[in-house]
Amino acid sequence: MKQLLDLGVDISSGRLSQFITDDLDRFHDEKDPILQAGLSVSDYVHTDDTGARHDGKNGYCTHIGNELFAWFSSTESKSRINFLSCLGQGSDHFYVLNAGAFEYMEEQKLPVPLLARLEREFEGEVMCNLPLAEPSDKTVRIETALDWNKWLDQQGVKTRRHRRTLTEGALMGGLLAQGIPAALSIISDDAGQFNVFDHALCWIHAERIINRLIPLNAEHVKAVDNTREQLWLIYRDLKNYKHEPTNRPG
């Protein structure tokens, strides 16, 4: 409010509140394509979430962005499923079973017998009588969360961890089908929900790992200090290279 008044905008706090709380459909229609456009031209994104009140309930606000764009969403969860769902906002791909989805499930240690059974059905395109898109290049898509959960029920998947892993994998498959590269770097504070794609720490949080070390003597103290110094020397070299890419770092 103060910023607008300082810019010479004559507006009341009530009117400003109306702008940001009423008739938001057009803003949401504009917001989600921003995320997809940003992801389509980005090699990396920063992300974080924080507690937030929404509609009188405790929830979370998730941020995804970089120097090109910033996107925010109010959600009820801070799980990995929630984060993958956020990444897919504005996309027409949802729960997709493809090679990338099964690779994720294998990495997450889904039991081998269950994974093998699902892969056999996938290869044979025996995917139950649910509203699916036409299989193409060994890819099957399920449109809604309700239909996805029905499919899990029909597959006899009851264990909570297995359902979670399968859901994460299908959402990952949808993002890959959307065109997001598997090498996309997700830079965060090391929270588990962001550990997808090529997960990396921001520089501050990378240094925190070093700071957690407890030196036992003067030699250890010196080693920790030297490591921190080397970390920030690399950071400065990379920043200089970004501004002058024709010069070699260091």
Identify the top-confidence range among 9-18, 46-55, 59-68: 59-68
**How confident is the model over 156-214, as pLDDT tens digits?**
999 999 999 999 999 999 999 888 988 999 999 989 999 999 999 888 888 888 988 99
- Residues 79-93: pLDDT tens digits? 999 999 999 987 766
Helix (H) or strand (E) holding 236: helix 218-243
* CA atoms of 231 and 216, how far apart (whole Å): 21
Between CA 146 and CA 153 the distance in angstroms is: 11
pLDDT in tens, 119-138: 887 765 544 434 444 444 56
For residue 193, give the nearest of 93, 39, 64, 58 by alpha carbon: 64
**Contact status, residue 60 vs residue 51, Cβ threshold 8 Å:** yes
The domain spans of the chain are 203-243
Residue 17, token pair as written in the block: 């509140």
> 12 is written with which tokens?
């009341």
Compute the distance between CA of residue 142 and CA of residue 168 in angstroms, rounded to an integer: 13
What digits encode the pLDDT tens for the residues 207-248?
A: 888 988 999 999 999 999 999 999 999 989 988 888 888 756
Q: Can you give the pTM of this predicted structure?
A: 0.76
